[in-house]
Amino acid sequence: MVWLYFAPTEIGGSTRYVVTGGTSMEPRFHTGDLALVRPAGDYKVGQIVAYWSTLLHTVVLHRIHAIHGSHYVFKGDNNDFLDPVNPTRADLLGKLWLHVPGGGRWLNFVHSPLIAAVICGLLATGLLFGFGEKQRRRKRRRNGPPGKGIPIVNTSAQQNAGRRIDFGALLTASAVAAAVFVVLGAVAFTRPASTLTPATTGYTQQVSFGYSASAPAGPVYATGTIHTGDPIFVSLVHNLGVDVNYRFVSVAEHDVSGTEKIVLRLTGQGGWSRNLILTPTTRFTGDHTSTVVSLDLSRIQKLLARVSVLTGMGGTYTISVVPEVQITGSVAGRPLNLSFDPAMNFQLIGSQLLSQGAASASTTTSSAPAASSPAALTAARPGAVGTPGSAPTALTVLGVSAKVSLLRWISIIGLLISGLAAVLFYLRKRSEPFEESFRIQAQYGHMIVPIVGGEDLGWPPVDVPSIKALVMLAESGHRLILHNRSNDVDTYMVNEEGTVYRYQVKPSKVVWGEWSDTTVTPVKAAA
């Protein structure tokens, strides 16, 4: 089941692991997430599917927006445009099956050269040791005792002894791992976890405009009201109300206040212009303010007609409502002193007043008439202030970078786990019964034959100092080793032409908190 659902395509499975990047699928997906996709028999609109982009030469994970024949149209949830590539069914890699937030970072960590080398080294070491031990066991079973005609006895007890857990080796491995984590912690804790870096905090000033008026109800204005986007005919509309809404926007903590003055700016051909104050300078507190000004269109039209007569310059005129905003305060603890003066432009052509939309003072507008829309009636000016920030310090080893804070946690957790494991293996090893007996069975089990009953075989025994000495006697005489356990004592014997050579082992014990090594029972030898 694990292979069926989780085996990656690189090793013959059917699941593809995709690490996401960018902001096109926010808020569901973020950079560093892991997506598992699997092929599907049918793909439908609304499904999140991974496909190979021939334009970007990479895998793209987006949502199916439409299906046109054999081509699929994709779009990112956070994008306001469709993908430029329309892949076919052959380019689809699979639909979303499982989403693991942040899982891509761990996958990349495992795939890093250093970690991958460590994993491969551990696997190779385990395989080599396992293969070598298996070969040695096969060799022992194949060769057997050096004598001819002596059978090889391999009991279930000997097999179990060969498969016994070596707590001594585990204790050594835990101690080595603890030492490695101590070194890692020493390196990580002697370096700062973060460093000061210059950063910026963004903000935006925006002014949105709108207009409204009343007019006689009739064939031109059925309801007698005019709203933003409707055409304005000065023969029917005499007063036009213009809404001016200023707002200071920032995700950072801010405290601002300011002043606002609204000016009516009239501009004609030949460079003529004139400014009229609609509202005087007014102070406001907070990050927003709203003002409504009234334009007397009849008076403005008469003024412009008189200017045309006096200058001899006719044509079109531009009527602009300009809020002059001054802002002071702070953003993210940094002082601010800003100004913003966008313009809401109208163009008077004959008896019609056309909205030209909103623009900043530095933006030029076309002289050709253009229909207005609510989206075009907002002017914005972004900005940023420098703020002190901090970035995590990374430590690079063999081309692999990791955060110092992460290495600190790894060293602490690793040291705790390896330390606890070392204590556990040490206690298990101390409490393990018949330590030397297991070792003897594991090494010389092919020469040992268990017997039932006491050790009194009718021959006077002769004790030898070690099991190796007993094995040498058995091999020189082409004999087997007899083994008997009674009263918690393991006795190994070799009968050599009427003389019994014996080696006895008592289990290791802990007596009053002190360690008692394996002992050889003293027995007087008789010729």
What is the per-residue pLDDT for 172?
Answer: 87
Which SS3 state, helix, strand or coil, does residue 138 take?
helix
pLDDT of residue 119: 66
Residues 483 and 364 in one domain: no
CA distances from 30 to 15, 102, 390 (A): 21, 8, 22
Q: What's residue 431's pLDDT?
A: 63
- 411 lies in a domain? no
Evaluate whether 304 touches 268 at the Cβ level (below 8 Å): yes
Regarding pTM above 0.85, the answer is: no
Task: Tell me the average confidence (pLDDT) per consecutive run of 10 residues in the chain, 527 residues long.
Answer: 74 82 85 89 90 86 90 90 88 89 75 62 58 56 46 43 65 88 87 78 92 92 90 91 94 92 91 92 94 92 88 85 94 90 90 82 38 63 82 72 84 91 82 70 87 66 90 90 84 86 72 41 40
Q: Of 365, 383, 401, which marks where a domain is finished? A: 383
Q: Which domain holds residue 299?
A: 203-383
177 domain-assigned: no
Instruction: Specify whether 79 is located in the same domain as 220.
Output: no
Domain boundary among 111, 134, 163: 111
Please list, in sequence order, all residues whose beta carbon lies within 8 angstroms of the beta carbon of residue 375, skipping any fewer than 6 positions away: none
In a domain, 477, yes or no: yes
234 lies in the same domain as 355: yes
User: End of a domain among 362, 383, 404?
Assistant: 383
Q: Are residues 213 and 340 in the same domain?
A: yes
pLDDT of residue 305: 87
CATH of the domain at 25: 2.10.109.10
Same domain, 336 and 445: no
For the CA atoms of 108, 114, 117, 121, the dihedral, rounded to the nearest 10 degrees, stands at: -120
The pLDDT of residue 507: 60
- 28 and 94 co-located in one domain: yes
Residues 507, 446, single domain; the answer is yes
Q: Tokens 């063999």 map to which residue? A: 398
> How confident is the model at residue 522, as a pLDDT?
41
Per the omega criterion (within 30 degrees of 0), is the bond before 450 cis? no
How many domains does one find in the chain? Answer: 3
Q: Assess whether 247 and 333 both reside in one domain.
A: yes
What pLDDT does residue 24 have?
A: 86
